Amino acid sequence: QCSARIPEARAILDLLEKCPEHQKKGEFPVIVLEGLDATGKTTVAGSVKDALNAVLLRSPPACISQWRAIFDEEPAPIRRAFYAAGNYILASEIARASTQAPVIIDRYWHSTAAYTIATEIKGKVQDLPPAHDEVYQWPEDLLKPDLVLLLTVDPEERARRLRHRGLEKTKEEAELESNSLFRQRVEESYRRMENPACQEVDASPSKEETVETVLRLIKHHCGL
């Protein structure tokens, strides 16, 4: 319905239609790194990719990421539809890449779900849907990763890193900073995700220590 007003929406739908209905993972492991901005996801993902000779993919995928700024300015339902569609397009890339090498993903479905839940449910953490609710379950028709690692740092350290980066904030990042309840809802939503659940990694230490911890978990869980 929004393609008449947002021409880019038609292009995204065309890409979606070309994706096979059921994506199958290759023989190599698929690992997702999740977390709020400034928790070190992108830096750690790059280092892990190099260490494992892996393929690095991101959500939203490169083929639609140039339109991210456009959809970030839209109302929440349209914005979420963009990210959800991106996950299914990304699944096609994961399916292909995982036949050749391990795959590291900088955010995937858990991010889309956590931010959607935190946006739609106002109030405190206790106002979120209860643990084990279906909103925390991985979609049955979406290619599933082997391991999801949630990088966390304390709020003060994250704020310090954001100031150091000096990058322009998205609407949601600005809300994470200004609205502690929103941040708490996002973090708790991540923690309630199931099938697969997120394994938390304290990313407060140095980059080298965090990468070492992540690699150890991947090698233990995926047998690399």
Q: In what order do the strands lie in the sheet with 198-202?
A: 55-58, 103-106, 30-34, 147-152, 198-202
pLDDT band at 71 (very low <50, low <70, confident <90, very high): very high
Residue range 135-142: average pLDDT?
A: 95
DSSP-derived letter for residue 34 is E
* 25 against 173, higher pLDDT: 25
Residue range 95-101: average pLDDT?
A: 97
What pLDDT, in 10s, does the model give residues 100-135? 999 999 999 999 999 999 989 988 999 999 999 999
Give yes or no for a cis peptide into 102 (omega within 30° of 0): no
Domains of the chain by residue range:
2-222
pLDDT of residue 117: 95
pLDDT greater than 90 at residue 179: no
How many other C-beta atoms lie within 10 A of the C-beta of residue 4?
A: 8
What pLDDT, in 10s, does the model give residues 181-221? 888 999 999 999 999 999 999 998 889 999 999 999 999 99
| Tokens at 172, concatenated | 């949601």
pLDDT band at 171 (very low <50, low <70, confident <90, very high): low
pLDDT greater than 80 at residue 175: no
What CATH fold (topology level) applies to the domain 2-222?
Rossmann fold (3.40.50)
Q: Which of 117, 114, 112 shows the shortest CA–CA distance to 89?
A: 112
- What phi, psi does 208 have (nearest 5°)? -60, -45
Residue where the block lists tokens 């590291």: 104
User: In angstroms, rounded to a whole number, what is the distance separating the alpha carbons of residues 115 and 150?
Assistant: 14
Residue range 63-85: average pLDDT?
A: 91
